[in-house]
């Protein structure tokens, strides 16, 4: 047992592996590798300030996604000055505010993506603990401070003496900016930061920031509005000084803001990226530049490492954490994480890159849906599509922990439409094969082939790779058995007749067989579908396979990819649509019921869940992904690919045993 000290002057005892969400600050002393890779104290905070102070929320919070409309007057004025061509109106600095704002957003997003990618791989990772949806929701408005700064700059440019018509470059202004930051800014920030950790200010403001134990670049600017006012007042000291003394320049101001963003984002990454040779060449650098591991200790140990970007003040005032150097070295030595289970997926539409976990965190934390504003990013989207033609290898996009299993999701750089093109077949198969061999090399025990449309035309449901590499140790799982089990349990009890419609996959054949064996009539609408099923099932259909031209005879439809809108509209009122494909059905009818694609609710023991899987709700996972996890948990030694179907009852029982829960069948239509 380890002693945990409570700041409300009481003590409790707890194990180093157990933490709970509490309404007070709890510091737990944990042994090495209990929470992360280094001996430390873990601070467990509530997710929001217990007593929110004044000016906690941003003024434009009610505007939601339309908050940027408040910049319209100033942007309009800048554009007008260009069109009119009035030299008195046309101010270079005024014109640069919008590009600077866009650059800051791009700069921060690049750090967010880099941090998430590197943390997922595990190389140089600092803290092993994952993040959850509450942190993503809390940090979704990381761009508020950029909007706030832009407003102040527009106002300063217009109303303050010397704020307009600033030159491009002045050497003396750059030097003054550097000196003022190293002196007054860093010094004042240090003491303000220490004040924020006093229980009065902490409970009302700063606890909001410290709710994030595992930091991301977006954490760096997740503060109440009142804190940002003070931060801006500090950072504006060098800027206002050079402006009022006439030594200011666009490069000095833009460069200083970029430096703040750079250090802020870098310091909140959860991986160490400053190489040791930098400090070896110039040892005093450790006093004037912090590292991600240095600031990570502040979020886990709470009362050390208060400095902004220059640790010198922690050295001077004795608040330097003694384990800073140790953690720095340990983090640099950490190797890439080896997964136990790999889930293979691919992109859907071009804009789905923004919904990846390494893309836009808030979009990734919601079920996939098209957003009109993503069309504004078409140059980035087009560039990524071109990059996928060059980079022809899988890449890691997500990691999870389930009990002792390390799970990773790898993405194949292809889009859904490409799987329908015959001339792309060889290229896609080669990439999948390389991913299989890479998982084998890294020691994974299971690889789940969660690729949509990876049917018999592409690789015979993965059988191609097993036959080509008979000594393969990693087990390939296509998840069909669990998909069948979930579909069978999604059909309402008492159902006597089911309509099967859509492209006939391995899952569709297996479901049809199981339904016939249970005495449930399977109705199809097209002769070619009937012939394929009849040949496959033969006498095993028990006479329950029938063909009908009527759309109104069944209240339960099992549907695949090629169900047409016309067919869907012919269904009776109150029909339940259950997809057996990985792509959801377009909900056209408000008087009908729609189930999700085959999926289950994940247990709470699954860690680091902060993104949604395609179009599924939060903490809901597709059965094709769950199947690989079950295969590893149960230690099953056979492949589940090709035309093989595992024992459906055995798979279903294992799924429930490990805490996965079936989703509720819809009972109310949208109307």
* d(C-alpha 1, C-alpha 30), whole Å: 10
CB 500 within 8 A of CB 522: yes
* d(C-alpha 318, C-alpha 460), whole Å: 65
Which structural domains are found in the chain, ordered by start? 61-269 (no CATH), 341-481+608-662 (no CATH), 491-601 (3.40.50.720)
Higher pLDDT, 185 or 78: 185
Tens digits of residue pLDDT in 271-289: 999 999 999 999 999 999 9
What is the torsion angle, in degrees rounded to the nearest 10, for the CA atoms of residue 133, residue 384, residue 69 and residue 54?
30
Tens digits of residue pLDDT in 539-552: 888 889 999 888 77
- Say which residues have a Cβ less than 8 Å from residue 609's Cβ, sequence separation at least 6: 130, 132, 133, 400, 602, 618, 619
Q: What's the N-to-C CA distance of the chain in angstroms?
A: 56
Q: What is the mean predicted confidence (pLDDT) over 12-26?
A: 33
Secondary structure of 465-476 as H, E, C letters: HHHHCCCCCCEE
- Say which residues have a Cβ less than 8 Å from residue 24's Cβ, sequence separation at least 6: 6, 7, 8, 46
pLDDT value for 389: 80
- 304: number of Cβ within 10 Å: 18
* d(C-alpha 530, C-alpha 484), whole Å: 19
* d(C-alpha 330, C-alpha 279), whole Å: 16
pLDDT value for 48: 52
Q: Is 557 helix (H, G, I), strand (E, B) or coil?
A: strand
User: What percent of the chain is predicted at pLDDT more than 70?
Assistant: 90
Tens digits of residue pLDDT in 115-135: 999 999 999 999 999 999 999
Whether the per-residue pLDDT at 302 is higher than 80: the answer is yes
CB 498 within 8 A of CB 556: yes
Q: Number of C-alpha atoms within 13 angstroms, CB side, residue 577?
A: 33
Q: Is 310 helix (H, G, I), strand (E, B) or coil?
A: coil
pLDDT value for 41: 41
* d(C-alpha 430, C-alpha 435), whole Å: 9
pLDDT value for 669: 52
pLDDT value for 256: 98
* d(C-alpha 462, C-alpha 24), whole Å: 52
Higher pLDDT, 369 or 454: 369
Q: Is 520 helix (H, G, I), strand (E, B) or coil?
A: coil
pLDDT band at residue 47 using 50, 70 and 90 as cut-offs: very low
Burial of 481 per CB tally in 10 Å (0-12, 13-18, 19+): buried
Q: What is the mean predicted confidence (pLDDT) over 315-327?
A: 97
Tens digits of residue pLDDT in 607-664: 999 999 999 999 999 999 999 999 999 999 999 998 888 999 999 999 999 999 999 9
The DSSP annotation for 351-416 comes to GGGGGSTTS-HHHHTS-----GGGGGGHHHHHHHHHHHHH--S-EEEEEEEETTEEEEEEEES--G
pLDDT value for 649: 94
CB 644 within 8 A of CB 475: no
CA 102 to chain centre: 22
* d(C-alpha 336, C-alpha 123), whole Å: 4
1 DSSP 8-state letter: -
Side-by-side strand order, sheet with 521-524: 545-547, 521-524, 497-501, 556-559, 576-579, 593-594
- 574: number of Cβ within 10 Å: 11
**Residue 663 region, left (φ>0) first, then alpha (ψ -120 to 50), else beta?**
beta
pTM of the model: 0.89
What is the torsion angle, in degrees rounded to the nearest 10, for the CA atoms of residue 547, residue 551, residue 556 and residue 559?
80
Helix ranges restricted to H, 607-647: 623-634
User: What percent of the chain is predicted at pLDDT more than 90?
Assistant: 70
The overall longest dimension of the chain from CA atoms, in Å, is 93
* d(C-alpha 440, C-alpha 463), whole Å: 16
* d(C-alpha 316, C-alpha 310), whole Å: 11
CB 239 within 8 A of CB 231: no
- 256: number of Cβ within 10 Å: 21
pLDDT value for 50: 60
What is the torsion angle, in degrees rounded to the nearest 10, for the CA atoms of residue 60, residue 74, residue 354 and residue 590?
60
- Say which residues have a Cβ less than 8 Å from residue 481's Cβ, sequence separation at least 6: 510, 627, 640, 645, 646, 647, 648, 651
* d(C-alpha 253, C-alpha 173), whole Å: 9
């Amino acid at each position: 047992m380890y002693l945990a000290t409570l700041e409300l002057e009481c003590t409790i005892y707890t194990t180093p592996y157990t933490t709970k969400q509490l309404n007070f600050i709890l510091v737990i002393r944990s042994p090495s590798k209990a929470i992360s890779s280094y001996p430390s104290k873990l601070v467990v905070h509530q997710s929001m300030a217990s007593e929110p102070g004044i000016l906690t929320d941003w003024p434009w919070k009610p505007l939601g996604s339309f908050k940027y409309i408040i910049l319209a007057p100033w942007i309009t004025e800048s554009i007008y000055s260009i069109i009119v061509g009035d030299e008195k109106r046309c101010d270079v600095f005024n014109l640069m505010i919008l590009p600077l704002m866009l650059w800051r957003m791009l700069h921060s997003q690049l750090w967010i993506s880099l941090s998430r990618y590197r943390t997922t791989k595990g190389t140089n990772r600092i803290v092993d603990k994952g993040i959850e949806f509450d942190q993503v929701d809390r940090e979704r408005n990381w761009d508020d401070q950029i909007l706030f700064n832009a407003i102040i700059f527009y106002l300063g440019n217009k109303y303050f003496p010397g704020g307009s018509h600033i030159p491009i470059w002045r050497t003396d202004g750059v030097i003054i900016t550097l000196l003022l930051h190293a002196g007054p800014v860093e010094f004042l920030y240090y003491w303000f930061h220490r004040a924020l950790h006093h229980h009065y200010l902490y409970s009302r403001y700063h606890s909001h920031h410290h709710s994030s134990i595992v930091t991301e670049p977006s954490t760096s600017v997740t503060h109440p509005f009142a804190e940002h006012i003070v931060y801006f007042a500090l950072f504006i000291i060098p800027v206002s000084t050079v402006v009022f003394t006439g030594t200011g320049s666009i490069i000095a101001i833009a460069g200083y803001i970029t430096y703040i963003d750079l250090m802020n984002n870098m310091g909140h990454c959860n991986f160490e990226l400053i190489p040791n040779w930098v400090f070896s060449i110039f040892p005093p650098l450790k006093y004037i530049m912090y590292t991600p591991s240095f600031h990570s200790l502040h979020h886990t140990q709470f009362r050390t490492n208060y400095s902004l970007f220059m640790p010198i003040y922690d050295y001077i005032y004795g608040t330097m954490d003694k384990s800073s150097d140790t953690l720095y070295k340990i983090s640099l030595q950490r190797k890439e994480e080896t997964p136990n289970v790999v889930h293979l997926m691919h992109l859907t539409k071009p804009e789905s890159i923004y919904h990846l976990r390494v893309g836009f965190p808030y979009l990734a934390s919601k079920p996939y849906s098209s957003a009109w504003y993503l069309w504004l990013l078409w140059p980035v989207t087009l560039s990524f599509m071109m990059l996928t033609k060059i980079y022809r290898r899988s890449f890691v996009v997500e990691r999870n922990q389930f009990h002792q299993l390390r799970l990773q999701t790898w993405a194949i750089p292809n889009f859904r439409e490409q799987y329908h093109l015959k001339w792309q077949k060889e290229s896609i198969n080669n990439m999948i094969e390389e991913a299989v061999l890479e998982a084998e090399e890294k020691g994974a025990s299971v690889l789940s082939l969660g690729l949509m449309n990876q049917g018999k035309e592409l690789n015979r449901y993965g059988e191609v790779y097993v036959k080509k590499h008979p000594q393969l140790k990693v087990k390939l799982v296509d998840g069909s058995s669990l998909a069948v089990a979930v579909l069978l349990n999604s059909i309402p009890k008492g159902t006597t007749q089911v309509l099967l419609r859509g492209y006939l996959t391995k899952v569709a054949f297996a479901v049809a067989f199981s339904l016939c064996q249970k005495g449930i009539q399977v109705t199809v609408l097209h002769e070619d579908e009937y012939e394929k099923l009849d040949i496959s099932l033969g006498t095993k259909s028990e006479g329950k396979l029938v063909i009908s031209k009527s759309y109104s005879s069944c209240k339960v439809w099992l549907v695949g990819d090629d169900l047409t809108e016309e067919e869907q509209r012919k269904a009776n009122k109150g029909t339940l649509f259950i997809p057996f494909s990985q792509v959801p059905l377009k909900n056209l009818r408000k008087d009908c019921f729609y189930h999700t694609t085959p999926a289950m609710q994940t247990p709470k023991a699954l860690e680091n869940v902060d993104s949604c899987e395609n179009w599924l709700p939060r903490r809901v996972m597709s059965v094709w992904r769950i199947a690989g996890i079950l295969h590893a948990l149960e230690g099953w030694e056979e492949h589940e690919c090709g035309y093989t179907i595992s024992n459906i009852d055995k798979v279903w029982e294992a799924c429930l045993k490990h805490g996965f829960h079936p989703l509720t069948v819809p009972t109310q239509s949208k109307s």
